[in-house]
Amino acid sequence: MYDDGSVDRTWMGPSEVEFFVTPYHPSSEETLERDGIVLQDRIITTNDLDVSLRFYMPATIDKKTTEKLPVILHFQGATTCQAVVISVSTRLAQEHRLPSAIDDGYTTLLWLRSLARSDENDVVGDKLDFSRVFLIGDSSGGNLVHEVAARVGRDEENDCMFWSPLKLAGVIPVHPGFVRSYRSRSEMEGKEGPFLTLDMLDKLLALALPVGSIKDHPFACPMGDAAPQLESLRLPPMMVCIVKNDLTRDTYPNRVCRGHEGGGDGRAAFC
């Protein structure tokens, strides 16, 4: 990042992890089949904001059947499984600090709800099971998963039919970027890698959080005193995936155990 606020995202680190930071822009073709996966790019517009989406659908879908597939809304990537995966291209910091990316994820869910309520024929919507929508995100995407799910829960507390017929069936944060203002044991004793060091972690948080915020901000520390009580959140079933060498892994068990004691579904799992 330069003094004028501009950002150069050219990867200068080891080549073996360059694919993690290489952007893949929407294809020029409306629909593209590759390696048994059908890709389709869409742009949704709301409140003068454009959000880019990429759909990943099994090429084996039988268009003649009424079978519907679960929906996986993925922040920061995509995957391959017997489901329709929607990868959300969220706005990036530091040009767009949080909650911009959270808003993009929430906007995408609102669009899915409108698709579920629409009577119009849609080549994608006709194959989506809106009663089985999952959120998944890795690293900072795991934080987005938590924040979007918490917003959905607040909506349902105020109006139980707000999201109908869409149902958030589960969330999967993959080594989410939960931190505290003080170092955890894994941060102090863990081995830094080429893709993430403690210095990088601190700088990335400083660029992503609202101006003037510290690491205890709820977006980075949902288990902290400044965040809503975790027991009060209405959260769906959760599976948290933790990698052995993640520098911030020690913050997760505390977060999940507390977050599923109250208004949520009450089910949580680690892997």
Catalytic residue numbers read: 139, 246
The position carrying tokens 């194959």 is: 127
Helix (H) / strand (E) element for 45: namely strand 37-46
